[in-house]
Structures are given as C-alpha cells and as structure tokens.
Amino acid sequence: MSNKIAEVVILIPINKPILGNEEKEAVLKVLESGALTNASAEGGFFVKTFEKDLASFMGAKDAVVVNSGTAALQVSLLAMNIKPGDEVIVPSFTFAATAGAVLLVGAKPVFVDIDLNTYNMDPEAFRRAITSRTKAVIPVDLYGLPAKIDEIREYAERYGIAIIEDACQAQGASYNGRMAGTLGDVGCLSFYPGKVMTTGEGGAIITNDQELADKLRMIRTHGQTKGYDSKLLGGNFRMPEIEAAIGIVQLRKLSKFLEARAKNARILIEKLNEADLILPQVPENTIHNWYLFTVRFANEKIREIIRNRLLKEGIGATVYYPTPVHKLPYYISLGYGKIELPNTEMASKTVLSLPVNPLIEEKDLEKTSKIIFEVLSSIS
C-alpha cells in the first residue's frame, strides 16, 4: 500500500512555497552585489533590513535572523546559559528539532503531555515536571496555534524558568493581542519552504531585550563582536544575504498569505461541521495562522483509510506527527521510550492535517470534504 501511495501525484499539496518575480529580482540584486554573506555580528545589508522589517511586523524591539528554525532554538538555549545537567521541559508531540536543540547544548529534554483540545503543552503537565534542575521550558505553538503561555508563565516565573517559545509553525498567529513569537523570553521562527512564508531555509529569534539581542548576534557569529575576538561560545548560525533578500519580499506578502489560509480554514470548518470528526479548536483571544488544519478521528484505522483515499485522489493529507519524539529510535536509545504520555500517543494515532494553503481553491476544499464524508459514511 505504501508503495502505491508514493507513486500518486499530489495535485493539492499540504504546503508549498509561493514565490514570484519579486523574489527572483531580490536574489539577483544580491548576486550582482557579490556580497553573499557578512561575517560581522550585525550582518549584511539585507540581513539588517530583514531584521528591522521582521521586528516591526512582530511588534517587537528586535529580531535576530539565523540559518534555520533549529538554529534559532539552539542559539536561544545558548544565550539563556542552558548547560549540561540542566533540564528543559518540552512536548513530545512536535517535530524532533525542539528536543534535539536541547541535546545539542548538552542539556536534558524532559517530555510532558499535551492538551488534546489544542495539541499544545498542558500547563499542568509542565508544572508537575518541574524540578530543581529545570532551567527552561519550550512550549510549541503546534500547527500554528499559540500555546497557553500565560498559564505556563505563571509557573515559570515562580520557579525562575526561562521561556523559549517555539513559534516555528505559528508566525502571524496571536494570543491575547500579542503575536506568537513574542510571548516568551525569546521566540523562535522558521522560514522552511513549507512554512507560512519562506527564505528557503532560515529562522529568527524575537526578543524585546537589547542586551540579549546583542548576545544572540554574537553567538550566531562564533561569539564575536568585531571579528577574531570570540568572547563566548558560538558558531556559524548566520543567515546568508540571499535568504534575507527573499525574506524581505515574502514578509510583505505574509498578511495576504494568512488571509487566504484563514478563509480556506473557515470554509473547511463549515463543510466538515457535521462530519464525525474533531475539528480544530481555537480558544478565545487566540488567532490561528492555519499553517496546518488538523482534524482528529475516532481511531487510527479510520484515519488511515481516509488519509489513503485522499492521497489516492491527489490531496496531500499528512500526519504530523505519526511518532511522538520520545518514541523515535534515537530517543528510545536514550531511555525515553517507556515514558507514558497518553494524550500525545492518542493524537499521533488519530490526527490528520488537510491542505488550506493559499494555493487551495474552494473546489479543492469541496473535494476534500466530500471524500471524507463518503468514507465516514461507508465505515458507519
């Protein structure tokens, strides 16, 4: 069955970068300049411009761009002085980068369960996991829905725990009037091609702390301030000028991208409202960016029948994430495999993400919903 699915042509992708002539022209400007990167702590012209524009869009004092969302997480942990022996609380229902960044700085990820209504970290599970070694928490804004940061902050402040918001999927979303990525001590974004906007690869760290921003810029360039003067541990986490140039253009288009996603999500919610499944839930005072429109079915068997049928029809329905991080081979080798996270494991077996990206038309949404109704009806 898996081989047959792999051969199917996906006509309606779950996500796809949307690039035009403006991005091509921006890349050519960089190529013509010959300045493809800049090794200074502050970065080159396009990096500095992108950072200024991004900070303004986010409603934050500063943005520090790096070469991936994973780098954003790792650099943030280094800037927060997270060291070997420290514990960092993370969800397991997410992409492996969240926990991987913790391991890359020598610290220990501590996995906690999620709230099944939002698929985000359960604040009470976070509270129960806190120990004297807990130095940071990384709540993930999964699928583009901000985590309950206010509840998490209440416990974090009580115990002196840093909040590194993993908003890599949630750019443009908001919580109580504040944008995702500005809700923690720092916030991390990703500009991977499948995200709501892209720079090819790339990421950013959002902060309102100038001293911390300066430190982040040092870390992304080998701990240097003026070249060959490394003052702290860092690496090459720089964003190239070509990526920054693309980002400047994409950021101007982001609001329209998000409007299209929200419209498609509303349509799909209306069409699936009577279906025997659980639709995405958006809490009050929260705006979803609809990076992924994720529904949940009664069991794994039904989910797989529907997923296979949608794929057969060229609709890129995708499971994010079929295996919780603590159940991945490497994490099993570290001893995490026996941890029990019932909500996480249930979600991994029953969720399915449906395409609502800006390239989707209403007829595509109609086709998607019709297939789901047909399959559910045949099963019942």
Which residue spans of the chain are classified as CATH 3.90.1150.10?
2-16+255-379
Please tell me the class of the 21-250 domain.
alpha beta
Judge contact between 258 and 59, C-beta under 8 A: no
Fill in the amino acid letter for 158. R
Q: Which amino acid is at 6?
A: A
Q: Is 12 helix (H, G, I), strand (E, B) or coil?
A: strand
Of 144, 157, 155, 97, residue with least CA distance to 122: 155
CA 6 to chain centre: 25
The answer for 34, left when phi > 0, alpha when psi is -120 to 50, beta otherwise, is left
Q: Which of 153, 218, 343, 369 is nearest to 279 (CA)?
A: 369
- Residues (pLDDT < 50) of the chain are 1-6
Could you write out the DSSP letters of every residue in 84-142? TT-EEEEESSS-THHHHHHHHTT-EEEEE-B-TTTSSBPHHHHHHH--TTEEEE--B-G
Tokens 């960092």 identify what position?
Answer: 88
Helix axes 241-272, 45-58, angle to 10 degrees: 30
pLDDT tens sequence across 335-356? 999 999 999 999 999 999 999 9
pLDDT single digits (tens) 225-283: 988 999 999 999 999 999 999 999 999 999 999 999 999 999 999 999 999 999 999 99
Superfamily of domain 2-16+255-379: Aspartate Aminotransferase, domain 1 (3.90.1150.10)
Residue 371: what pLDDT?
98
CA distances from 263 to 129, 194, 257, 286, 365 (A): 39, 19, 10, 16, 11
**pLDDT of the residue at 7:** 61
- Look at residues 23, 15, 20 and name the one whose alpha carbon lies nearest to residue 359: 15
Radius of gyration (C-alpha) of the chain in whole angstroms: 21
Q: What is the largest CA-CA distance in the chain?
A: 68
What is the structure's pLDDT at 9? 83
Cα gap 113→341, rounded to integer Å: 5
Closest CA to 368 of 295, 299, 301: 295
Residues of the chain with CATH 3.40.640.10: 21-250
